[in-house]
């Protein structure tokens, strides 16, 4: 089974299908680094749905759909994170992506990073190498093949991913469509 490491943008797309996915039987190997889990549970928008994915609903006996993994702040994981972080004291952006890449490069060597962020994807490709970074489309396809989501949910997730990618950049990305390989 593939071990997927999700970035915050992917969690947002998944949270858009919150009611459709509940309950999630036989949860996939979907993990998030603790920094991303904290980001997912604060802020506006789909915060309640993101919190449900990350924390579950203990009162009703629903376990989290995503497993949170801590990035050890010592040794090789810390060195990897510091290498990825900007040197400026005021740099506070992209910590979740950098922590995810550092975790995948050190203690979660079997994990595949799933991201929407173009810069994070290129940094992850440089750090992790080929076959260790993918788009949300690959994650959705895996969920579908294993019967965790149905055909209508798959199409909604594909559509939401295309819309999000269209918002991220102009030019070709402005008219993004589902990749032909799917």
126: CATH? 3.40.50.1010
In a domain, 71, yes or no: yes
Domain that residue 80 falls in:
3-135
Alpha carbon distance 110, 72 (integer Å): 17
- pLDDT grade for 135, boundaries at 50, 70 and 90: very high
Tell me the Ramachandran region of residue 109: left when phi exceeds 0, alpha when psi lies from -120 to 50, beta otherwise: alpha
In a domain, 57, yes or no: yes
Provide the pLDDT for residue 171.
47
In a domain, 113, yes or no: yes
In a domain, 177, yes or no: no
In a domain, 161, yes or no: no
Give whole-number Cα distances, 23 to 17, 51, 66, 149, 165, in Å: 11, 15, 13, 11, 28
In a domain, 158, yes or no: no
What is the average pLDDT across 57-71? Answer: 82
Q: Which residues, including other chains, have CB under 8 Å from residue 37's CB and lie 6 or more apart?
A: 54, 66, 68
In a domain, 148, yes or no: no
**54 pLDDT more than 70:** yes
Taking all residues of the chain, what is their mean pLDDT, rounded to a whole number? 82
In a domain, 18, yes or no: yes
Alpha carbon distance 69, 48 (integer Å): 20
Report pLDDT digits (tens) over 92-120: 677 888 899 999 999 999 999 999 988 88
Domain count, the chain: 1
């Amino acid at each position: 089974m593939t071990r997927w490491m999700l970035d915050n943008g992917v969690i947002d797309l998944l949270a858009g299908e919150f009611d459709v996915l509940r309950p999630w039987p036989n949860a996939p190997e979907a993990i998030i680094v603790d920094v991303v889990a904290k980001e997912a549970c604060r802020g506006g928008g789909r915060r309640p749905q993101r919190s449900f994915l990350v924390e579950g609903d203990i009162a009703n006996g629903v376990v989290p759909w995503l497993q949170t993994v801590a990035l050890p702040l010592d040794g090789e994981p810390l060195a990897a994170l510091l290498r990825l972080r900007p040197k400026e004291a005021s740099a506070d952006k992209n910590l979740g992506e950098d922590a995810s890449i550092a975790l995948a490069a050190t203690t979660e060597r079997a994990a595949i990073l799933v991201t929407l962020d173009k810069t994070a994807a290129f940094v992850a490709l440089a750090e992790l190498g080929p076959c260790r970074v993918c788009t949300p489309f690959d994650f959705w396809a895996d969920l579908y093949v294993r019967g965790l989501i149905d055909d209508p949910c798959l199409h909604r997730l594909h559509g939401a991913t295309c819309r999000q990618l269209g918002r991220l950049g102009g030019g070709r990305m402005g008219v993004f469509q589902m990749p032909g390989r799917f």
